[in-house]
Structure 1
Amino acid sequence: MADNCNFVSILGVLLILTMFDNPIIVYAGEGVPNVALFTFGDSYYDVGNKVLLSKDKNPAQTKWPYGKSRDDPNGKFSDGHIVPDFIADFMSIPNGVPPALKPDANVTRGVSYAVTDASILGSPAESMTLSQQVTTFESMKSNWTTGYIKKSLFMIYIGTEDYLNYIQKHPDADATKQQAFVTSVTSQLKTDIRSLTNLGARKFVVQLLAPLGCLPIVRQDYKTGNDCYELLNDLAKQHNEKIGPMLNDFANSPDIDGFQFAVFDFYDAILRRTQRNLNYRFYVSNSSCCGVGTHNAYDCGKGNVHSKLCDYQRAYLFFDGRHNSEKAQEEIAHLLYSANLNVIQPMNIRELIVYPTGEKMREFWEPNTFSARRRLPSQDSYAGYSA
């Protein structure tokens, strides 16, 4: 009898270990419809468009140590995959979504229009504004049926370049001028989202801006040491405060049927990992893994930087001066896809995908919900979370 009990106990332990070693992830084939993923924005979402636009056919992001974690420098600003890659994986999209500018790409399950250096109000010659990205989508729209576009996912992350450039050019701008600039940026963003709805898009995921003042490149440029540059953080917060109400207005608009959305609090997710990095198993959160300077913020991917590469990139929140490591990108993707209202509201990506197409939303973005629904740090439901 004792031997039987011991045998059962051993089986139980093995089962538990197997569960932890093989976490259960719900993919598109398991209750989630096969829809397309369209991404818009800047280098955070760029899967290779910048390489195709650049006069330099071998820019830094195509060289080692970019892609180091997968031994594959592929034009993405990370040591491996970026957020859209993981979201595509969760949606069972084979090989992720291709760059829109790649000739003969398989666009069946979606496309990435995001381009490095993109902004909302204006971009360099070798990039595209969000408006130009929307125009490119319009030119490709015939690849998908109207019904398929309506039930597919449109993800947007953009605005970093607008605010970094603004503060660089106007370091002494007063509060009134800053507010006016934020209004101009978010007004154009609203116009661009409206343009997408006119082209049939209905399901949107908008990722709020990160705490821009905490980027290693900003700490290095403004010589803040271990502190964040609060002026840029404040601009990011002003921008973020306008996104939820804007999307609520779209969802309640009588002339846009079935507008649905999710707002991801990227600001808070990064700030938590910056301030309480050890809870998330990041040992360095104020400097990057690859680069030169006080915070290793510049020249990753260039020949003189190899000696400055960190020993273990998964210990770092940032891989280069402004982009997260693959480990951080994977955590963010999991939060986007399946987190609760502490970090994404009024629903996460998985809920948004399965929400009946064309149906009016029953819940909306609520101000201060992110902070109001949080538990105390000791009870935090995702402190210590590591994908």
Structure 2
Amino acid sequence: MAKSKLVYYLSIFIFTIFAAKYEGTNAHNHNYKHRFHPKKLFVFGDSYVDTGNTNKSLSTSWNVPYGVTFPNKPAGRFSDGRVLTDFLARFYGLKSPVPYMLRNLAGKRAVSYGTNFAFGGTGVFDTLFPGANMTVQIGFLRALLDGSHYSKRDVDTSMALVALSGNDYSTYLFRGGLFQNISAYITQVVNQLAINLRSIHHMGVRKVFVTSLQPLGCLPKVTILNSFSQCNATLNSAVKIHNLLLRQAVAKLNNETANTNGGSPAFIILDLFSSFNTTIFRDDKFVNPLKPCCMGIKDGSCGTVNSSGEKMYTVCEKPQNSIFWDTVHPTQAGWRAVYLTLQSSLSQI
């Protein structure tokens, strides 16, 4: 019973959630001329950018049918295929960085493109999921700056992707926090996020991308309550508070670093809130955009089986026609659509 409850609760949280050529993601296919050409990508956050750090015994991302589109088998990505990390890396002509937990298996050459420190289910604070929070993830990079892995020059020519997708807020509510008091907690979360962003930059990382919070009220785990017909405006109003505070925090950080970063912003927001809304409400190639492709049966979640080995989920025939893969994570097609709306922001460096 305890194990089934754990699986259920983990499934409803936003995990912090994996290099082949694919259409529309090669940096050389764009007309953008970057002032800064990153040599490495360091990734921090949760399942929206995790490419294989999360423990196999605790995560369905290592189970069939995850990875069915890419790489044709489960690989620790919380999707049927590629996630935001993969698209952003390819935009800058980089390979997707190796997951931190797999670095020894991948070899020294693999880490030459950077390292992904993100763990599914985590946040800036400790969450219900036993992964490394963002401060710990940053500590992992600091420990690698010993010359044997990365030098100061390596970091000086690097960029970072930082994703915070809502696990702190899921944990807050699960532990009995009142929604009417969530504004004060949002302030705490964004303040800690700002501390983490500053720490990454202080280590020498030149450019730091940070995601705004996506419209949590539009995730299938929420819209299932109205048969996937509409988003929850109340929940999205709280998301807007987070994003407003984030914009203010990033503006302050850029003011602090203006004299040491050549006059260009060191911190850039990737507006997932607007990108998700554009994809959900304006991209007509997706069928029933608020409904996930992979759905759990009763208390099961995507990728789970019962004691007899029977699937406790169903999967749609064409993931490319769905924005969401499971109740919280986009499909590869969903991520690609979101990424396409972000290209102007990505070209700012």
* Larger relative contact order (Cα-Cα within 8 Å, sequence gap ≥ 6): 2
Q: CA deviation at 1:153?
A: 1.1
SS of 2:28's equivalent in the other structure is coil
Give the length in aligned residue pairs.
311
Q: State how 1:56-205 maps to structure 2 within 5 Å.
A: 56=57, 59-70=59-70, 71-94=72-95, 96-104=96-104, 105=106, 106-124=110-128, 126-142=130-146, 143-170=149-176, 172-174=178-180, 177-205=181-209
Check 1:29–1:216 CA distance in 2 against 1; reply closer, same or farther (3 A cut).
closer
| Structure 1 gap segments, 5+ residues each | 1-21, 340-347, 353-387
Q: TM-score, normalised by structure 2?
A: 0.80
Partner amino acid, structure 2, of 1:299: S
Partner amino acid, structure 2, of 1:67: G
Check 1:247–1:213 CA distance in 2 against 1; reply closer, same or farther (3 A cut).
same
Q: Is the 8 A contact 2:279 2:338 kept in 1?
A: no
**Cα separation, 1, equivalents of 2:29 and 2:130:** 35
| Structure 2 gap segments, 5+ residues each | 1-22
SS of 1:317's equivalent in the other structure is coil
Partner amino acid, structure 2, of 1:166: Y
Partner amino acid, structure 1, of 2:75: N
In the TM superposition, structure 1's runs of 4+ consecutive aligned residues that sit over 6 Å from their partners are 28-31
Partner amino acid, structure 2, of 1:247: V
Q: 1:292 aligns with which of 290, 296, 302?
A: 296
SS of 2:102's equivalent in the other structure is coil
Q: Is the 8 A contact 1:43 1:115 kept in 2?
A: yes
Q: 2:273 aligns with which of 256, 267, 270?
A: 267
SS of 1:286's equivalent in the other structure is coil
Q: CA deviation at 1:163?
A: 1.5
Q: Please, which moves more after superposition, 101-110 or 72-81?
A: 101-110
Partner amino acid, structure 1, of 2:301: D
Aligned pair 1:219/2:247, yes or no? Answer: no
Aligned pair 1:210/2:207, yes or no? Answer: no
**Cα separation, 2, equivalents of 1:199 and 1:325:** 33
**Cα separation, 2, equivalents of 1:204 and 1:307:** 38
| Residue deviations 1:351-380 (CA, integer Å, cap 9, x gap) | 31xxxxxxxxxxxxxxxxxxxxxxxxxxxx
Q: CA deviation at 1:264?
A: 1.6
Q: 1:251 aligns with which of 254, 262, 268?
A: 254
**Cα separation, 2, equivalents of 1:234 and 1:170:** 20
Counterpart of 1:233?
A: 236
Larger Rg: 1 or 2?
1
**Cα separation, 2, equivalents of 1:153 and 1:233:** 30
What is the percentage of aligned positions where both structures have the same residue?
Answer: 23
Q: 1:302 aligns with which of 304, 307, 322?
A: 304
Q: TM-score, normalised by structure 1?
A: 0.73
Q: Is the 8 A contact 1:163 1:232 kept in 2?
A: no
Partner amino acid, structure 1, of 2:242: H
**Cα separation, 1, equivalents of 2:176 and 2:259:** 38
**Cα separation, 1, equivalents of 2:233 and 2:25:** 40
Counterpart of 1:371?
A: none
Provide the alpha-carbon RMSD of the alignment.
2.8
Q: Is the 8 A contact 1:28 1:91 kept in 2?
A: no
